[in-house]
Amino acid sequence: MSADDRQRREPAASPAELAAALARYRPLFGDVVDDWDGFIDALARPLATCIWSHPGRIDGARLAGLLEEQGVPAAPVPWLASTPGTALLLPPAFKPGQHWWYCAGLAHAQEAVSQLPPLLMDLAPGQRVLDLCAAPGGKTAQIALALGNRGTVLANDFAPERIAALQGNLDRLGVVNVSTTWADGGNYPAAAGPFDRILVDAPCSSEGTLRRNLSLVRKIGPERSQRMASRQRALLRKAVQLCRPGGRIVYSTCTFAPEENELVVADILAEQDGRLRLMPAPVSSRLPGLVSGPGVTRWQGRTLPEELAHCLRVWPHANDTGGFFIAVLEKGADARGLPQPEALALRLEPDDAAWCTGVAEHYGLPEPVEAAYRIQRQSRRGLHLAAADHAPPAAPAPQGSGVFFHRTNVRPPKLTTAGAQLLGATATRQVLDLDAPAERDAHLRRETLTPTPAQRAACHPGQVIVRHRGWPLGVAVLHRSGDLESLFPRKWSGCTAGG
Ligand SMILES: C[S@@+](CC[C@H](N)C(=O)[O-])C[C@H]1O[C@@H](n2cnc3c(N)ncnc32)[C@H](O)[C@@H]1O
């Protein structure tokens, strides 16, 4: 059941119920944060929807313009100005997946506070990055795009069905510098390291998401938090091992519980005995305008080292968001590092180069596919494209690398929707523009259309890339009759614009 379905079916929690469920945090008010009533009131209010624009496909002002055409008010989030795209706040009930621009990979929906951790990772192109708990991948995509969609990001998760959702988002956003892996992050193979940056966006009791999922109010409590804490410590401990000396780890949760936040960080700092440093989160330089609070240093009789105040807490009533916790850690330059990993061997079959030449010729691409991408056959189904310099390790074996772009096990072989969206903006042949909104939406509903002779004048019968106002939507077959058969997938990364 989705969070939206849950919200419709379950009775909303009242402020009194919220206050009772969260009463154990009351002693923090007046110490690290103020305004208990404001905190409870904020949690009882619905949360604005937040999306970010894909920096490689559309700028924020243009995306806001598309929303304005639909009569949807969109306001930029000022403290997210350094995110690769532009973060826009939309009304709470707004469903991005129902809109064509989402299906075309021009934007991604991600709660505003959830966008913070990658912004504190000090990311730069060329870094090798691990996202240890990555699904469904909003932060992975932010990291990947902050690296310029080049180089090597590993995105790991423990839940196979969540890796499928993660891959769906990466396909829709045309992210080509990520390999996904399926492993218990607490036991992640050391053979994969070392990494310059690691994100541990840990599984947690999710109290900070109560505004989206009020039924959680009946599940949270100290026992649940204690249970999560041992897994969180194992994840953070592993991240320290996998990080290169001098590298950075960001640990984050969306919960208020100190047991899952400062106490986890304090335990790992103590274990590392000076080889790991908690850094002050660079809020004023990276997140100007964000109202944040310090980490908790006294909790239920335990006093933590004062440096734990360097952790960052975002309380829901401070910026009208969900709740979040972030710790930025640096591994000592003289700490022990791991040897460089063995690289995964590239798999290709003799015909594969010809498939790529065929795609480039059919669609009149300005340069050969292999000039810009690493091409790989990951299964009998067909070919994947990854960034030319993407270098996944041999272990753990990736579930997938880059995007699946060309299906070769069908007759005739076909460009996939992800392939069309990735390559279609620069295609010069076999491109058919569906600029009328009704035609665009019919294509997304997988309907067969009859374009005008003028629309199809530049195409001959066969496969075509369909575009809307220059943005590629996917693939269709133009029949000799003049009918255009949509090949838009029935399931496409949470998109329902096709009905
Ligand atoms: C908070 S969510 C991550 C959200 C994600 N970073 C994003 O921005 O979309 C935590 C994730 O950790 C995964 N997880 C839980 N236990 C894990 C483990 N032992 N190793 C790796 N991932 C784990 C869950 O399946 C879940 O997808």
How do residues 440-480 score in pLDDT, each as one tens digit?
Answer: 999 999 999 999 999 999 999 999 999 999 999 999 999 99
Specify the pLDDT at position 352. Answer: 87
User: For residues 386 and 405, what is the distance between their CA atoms, to the nearest angstrom?
Assistant: 10
Q: From the alpha carbon of 234, which atom of ligand 1 is closest?
A: 19
Residues 6+ apart with CB under 8 A from 84: 52, 55, 142, 145, 146
Scored b (16 or more CB within 10 A) or e, 219-247 reads ebeeebbeebbebbbbbbbbbbbbbbeeb
182 against 6, higher pLDDT: 182
Among residues 489, 499, 496, 497, which one has the least CA distance to residue 171?
489
How far does the centroid of ligand 1 lie from the alpha carbon of residue 31, in Å? 31
Q: From the alpha carbon of 206, which atom of ligand 1 is closest?
A: 1
Among residues 277, 257, 258, which one has the least CA distance to residue 268?
277
Q: Is 451 in the pocket of ligand 1 (CB under 6 A)?
A: no
Q: Which residue bears the tokens 């195409």?
A: 459
Q: Is 144 in the pocket of ligand 1 (CB under 6 A)?
A: no
Residue 3 has pLDDT above 60, yes or no: no
Q: Is 260 in the pocket of ligand 1 (CB under 6 A)?
A: no
CB 260 within 8 A of CB 225: yes
Residue 147: count of CB within 10 angstroms of its CB: 23
How far does the centroid of ligand 1 lie from the alpha carbon of residue 254, in Å? 12
Q: Which of 110, 157, 324 to mutate to test the pocket of ligand 1 (most atoms within 8 A of CB)?
A: 157
Q: Which of 108, 113, 115, 158 to mutate to test the pocket of ligand 1 (most atoms within 8 A of CB)?
A: 158
How far does the centroid of ligand 1 lie from the alpha carbon of residue 47, in Å? 22
What are the beta bridge partners of residue 397? none
Predicted confidence band of residue 12 (pLDDT cuts 50, 70, 90): low
SS3 207: helix
Residue 359 host element (H or E): helix 352-362
CB 264 within 8 A of CB 228: no
CB 100 within 8 A of CB 440: yes
Specify the pLDDT at position 350. Answer: 85
Q: Which residue bears the tokens 């730069």?
A: 124
pLDDT tens column, 226-285: 999 999 999 999 999 999 999 999 999 999 999 999 999 999 999 999 999 999 999 999
Catalytic pick among 254, 311, 356, 495: 254
Burial class for 470, CB neighbours closer than 10 Å (0-12, 13-18, 19+): exposed
Residue 448: count of CB within 10 angstroms of its CB: 14
pLDDT tens column, 296-315: 999 999 999 999 999 999 99
- Asked if the bond preceding 396 is cis, omega within 30° of 0, the reply is yes
Specify the pLDDT at position 6. Answer: 47
Domains and their CATH numbers in the chain: 430-499 (3.10.450.720)
Average pLDDT over residues 157-185: 98
Q: Is 139 in the pocket of ligand 1 (CB under 6 A)?
A: yes
Strands 471-478 and 484-486: antiparallel
Q: Is 137 in the pocket of ligand 1 (CB under 6 A)?
A: yes
- Which residue has the least CA distance to atom 27 on ligand 1? 135
Q: Is 459 noted as a catalytic residue in this protein? A: no
Helix ranges restricted to H, 148-256: 160-172, 222-242
How far does the centroid of ligand 1 lie from the alpha carbon of residue 438, in Å? 39
Residue 153 has pLDDT above 90, yes or no: yes
pLDDT tens column, 63-92: 999 999 999 999 999 999 878 899 999 999
Longest CA pairwise span in the chain (Å): 78
Q: Is 116 in the pocket of ligand 1 (CB under 6 A)?
A: no
- Which residue has the least CA distance to atom 25 on ligand 1? 159
Q: Which of 133, 143, 252 to mutate to test the pocket of ligand 1 (most atoms within 8 A of CB)?
A: 133
